Amino acid sequence: MKIAIQGIKGSYHHEVAGNIFGDNIELLECDNFSEIPPLLVNKKADKAVMAIENTIAGAILPNYALIDEYKLQICGEYYLPIHHQLLALKGQSLDDIKEIRSHPMALEQCRKFFRDYPQIKLIEEKDTAKVAKEIQEKQQFGIAAIASKIATKIYDLEIIADEIQTNKANYTRFVIIAVKNGNTPENYNKASIKFRLNHETGSLLEILQIFKDNDLNMSKIQSLPIVEKPWEYAFFVDVIFDSPKQFENTIEKVRNHVNELKILGKYRSNKLI
Q: Which residues are catalytic?
A: 172, 174
Q: CA–CA separation, 90 vs 107, rounded Å?
A: 22
Interacting span for its own copies (CB under 8 A) from 42-50, 217-225, 248-256, 262-270: 217-225
Question: Least Å distance between CB 218 and its own copies?
Answer: 7
SS3 for 65-117, per residue?
A: HHHHHCCEEEEEEEEEECCCEEEECCCCCHHHCCEEEECHHHHHHCHHHHHCC
- In the region spanning residues 101 to 140, those forming contacts with its own copies, defined by CB under 8 A, are 108, 111, 124, 126
242 sits near its own copies (criterion: CB under 8 A): no
What is the SS3 assignment for 171? strand
Which of 93, 183, 209, 249 is in the footprint of its own copies by CB under 8 A? 209
Question: Least Å distance between CB 268 and its own copies?
Answer: 19
CA distances from 73 to 12, 70, 109, 269 (A): 21, 9, 30, 15
What is the SS3 assignment for 60? coil
Which of 1, 41, 56, 94 is in the footprint of its own copies by CB under 8 A? 56
Question: Least Å distance between CB 12 and its own copies?
Answer: 17
Q: CA–CA separation, 74 vs 51, rounded Å?
A: 12
Backbone φ/ψ region at 91: left (φ over 0), alpha (ψ -120 to 50), beta: left
Question: Least Å distance between CB 88 and its own copies?
Answer: 24
Binding interface with its own copies (CB under 8 A): 34, 55-62, 65, 108, 111, 124, 126, 167, 169-171, 199-202, 204-205, 208-209, 211-212, 215-225, 227-228, 230, 272
